[in-house]
Structure 1
Amino acid sequence: MNRVRTFAPGLALAALLATVAMPFGKALPMIGAPVLALAAGAVAGMVLRRRDATGATFGPGLDVARQRLLGAAIVLLGLGLPLGSVMSVGKETAVVLLGTLLVGAVAAFFVGRMLAVDRESATLVAVGTTICGASAIAAATAVLRPDKQRVAYALGTIFVFNVAAVLVYPPLGRALGLSQEAFGLWVGTAINDTSSVLAAGVIFGAGAAHFAVIVKLVRSLAIVPLCIGLHVGRRRLAAETGAPAGSLRQVFPLFVVLFLAASIIAGLGILPGAVTAPLATTSGWLIAAVLAAIGTSLSVERLRSAGVRPLVLGGALGLILGIASLGLMYLTGWC
């Protein structure tokens, strides 16, 4: 009973903010529920710091929301990524998809070093920009457990450029004379967050929106090797510094294995649509709750101390991905 009383206020706050953010996210798809939950959490955090400076009332529950809900959300996300149903699109777009991921990874490494961005911030901004926005940052956070201020900053960076992309890409696509499928491929590989990909596609046309979402789902599967790679990197760093290397379970974390299993189940068509639709909604709600909890830790003073370099990194990577994707599309005959 004491544990319930300890965690209940913070968990209830995260749940409330996520519940409020969900309908507004549908009404404002260019922003999305995760980012709205993050912003609501930031506002709530300012209020809480004035009334409860020690964080004794809401802090424990918010910590649980940040640390324990991520894995569940990511596993449920896998049920919306059926491996079999996207194989044909994956084969057709493989060069562009893999090429942009490779370019993004290389650019993140070199640009991050040029800007002298700390490793955690550079990793979070890079995975968010190159893979799938808030979901990839959430997955990386579950593996790396970085400073929560850096997580919030990375999410804010992703938000800024998602909004810019939704406004810029459709008129550029029309100016370039792209077809519906070509534009869908472009935004599906160049814009990171699913809600922003969908918003840009809808603005351009129904065909573009449909194709863009499928491409984005295929791109999101990179979460699996991302998490495994991050864990392997952590073990090597631990070996160099003399810290404990970690167990095999840490290299293949349970939520990653379950995420892959969920994708296979989705591809087999075992679960009916009446079940998968609510599960997908629940996954989005859990991610929003996590981001709301992260948002409560965000403060203007700490963001100022982080500087503008992570923001510059996010902008540079977004621009590089957009150009690289378009270039690969021209080379492979998509436009």
Structure 2
Amino acid sequence: MALILGVAVASLGWIPKNINTAAVAKKLLAYSIIGLGFGIQLDQAIEASKSGIGIVVTSIFATLILGTLLTKWMGLDKKTGYLISSGTAICGGSAIAAVAPAIDAKDHQTSIALATVFVLNSVALFLFPVIGHLLEMSQHQFGVWAAIAIHDTSSVVGAAGAYGDEALITATTLKLARALWIIPVAFISALLFRQKGNKVAVPMFILFYCLAIGVAHLLPQFQQAYELIFYASKRALVLCLFLIGCGISAKRLKEAGPKPLILGVSLWLAISSGSLLYLMT
């Protein structure tokens, strides 16, 4: 909703020219991601990853490789395609927000990737429970499938919660394990997209994100404070999405054409059907 509202405001020309919304969004995104680190339960993520690490790693790198190949084949902008692939492979908007500065993506590239992922995310929230019931999937199967194939954590929790309590627990813990892959993927992305002769730009907020996870794990007595920070970070992320939306208008989306959405749908179908086939056999 925030992203769409930002696009609407930008399309109406209501953004003051003296306000650099992109610069504000970039800084706020970094702080939001650091704050979200306080909500990652390290022990739960590690425990969940023991049983699902194979399918998590395979799905992440298979999606990134397929996305790279499709981006080249379709003639889509390289960075836009990579951001869409990253969002599909790991955890939607959070992954895009983390990878974008690592590859020095432009504002419109980030905006188009976010818009693509969030459209599919909204569809998955309602579609997945229906498919799960039609296929008579177990609570555990659906929880794993939701954690692998749905982009953002919020929609994973929503879809799994609608399916059942066991599905919710499985999906949440495995999704946390998947979210941890933001860290290595951001560093790998920085290496892949670095300019010749330049050093790799290490996104400092990723290091602070790791530090936040470590602090929350080592000092559990401050759990209430962590929950408050985590909640505030999620609210800040909503504001970020509005500011990012302000950087893109309906005209710019039209100029981007249908290719970003086609790429997003193709990758989503691949990871959804592939993981579903694995779980049902």
Identify the TM-score tier after normalising by the shorter chain: over 0.9
Partner of 1:313: 263
Partner of 2:213: 263
1:140 counterpart = 2:105 = no
Equivalent-residue separation in structure 2 for 1:267 and 1:222 (angstroms): 18
Which of the numbers 204, 207, 216 marks the counterpart of 2:175? 216
Equivalent-residue separation in structure 2 for 1:199 and 1:267 (angstroms): 25
Unaligned segments of structure 1, at least 5 residues: 1-35
Aligned length: 281
Which of the numbers 245, 269, 285 marks the counterpart of 2:198? 245
Partner of 2:47: 88
Specify the code of the residue in structure 1 equivalent to 2:131: L
Partner of 2:4: 39
Secondary structure in structure 2 of the residue aligned to 1:79:
helix
Contact persistence 2:44–2:173 (CA under 8 A): no
Partner of 1:22: none
Specify the code of the residue in structure 2 equivalent to 1:63: A
Secondary structure in structure 1 of the residue aligned to 2:108:
helix
Partner of 1:163: 122
Tell me the TM-score normalised to structure 1 length.
0.79
Specify the code of the residue in structure 1 equivalent to 2:242: A
Which of the numbers 182, 186, 196 marks the counterpart of 2:141? 182
Deviations 1:253-284 (A, max 9, x none): 22111111212222224352211111111111
Deviation at 1:51, TM superposition (A): 7.5
Q: Call closer, same or farther: CA 1:142–1:285 in 2, change over 3 Å.
A: farther
Secondary structure in structure 2 of the residue aligned to 1:272:
helix
Tell me the TM-score normalised to structure 2 length.
0.94
| Identity of matched residues, % | 28
Q: Call closer, same or farther: CA 1:84–1:255 in 2, change over 3 Å.
A: same
Deviation at 1:144, TM superposition (A): 2.6
Q: In terms of Rg, which structure is larger?
A: 1
Partner of 1:286: 236
RMSD (Å) for aligned C-alpha atoms: 1.7
Deviations 1:123-170 (A, max 9, x none): 111111111111111111232332212222111111221122122211
Which of the numbers 172, 188, 201 marks the counterpart of 1:229? 188
Equivalent-residue separation in structure 2 for 1:287 and 1:197 (angstroms): 17
Deviation at 1:297, TM superposition (A): 1.6
1:66 counterpart = 2:34 = no
Contact persistence 1:85–1:267 (CA under 8 A): no
Equivalent-residue separation in structure 1 for 2:219 and 2:140 (angstroms): 26
Q: Call closer, same or farther: CA 1:268–1:299 in 2, change over 3 Å.
A: same
Equivalent-residue separation in structure 2 for 1:205 and 1:304 (angstroms): 40
Equivalent-residue separation in structure 2 for 1:271 and 1:80 (angstroms): 14
Contact persistence 2:22–2:247 (CA under 8 A): no
Which runs of structure 2 are paired with 1:20-31 in the superposition (5 Å)? none
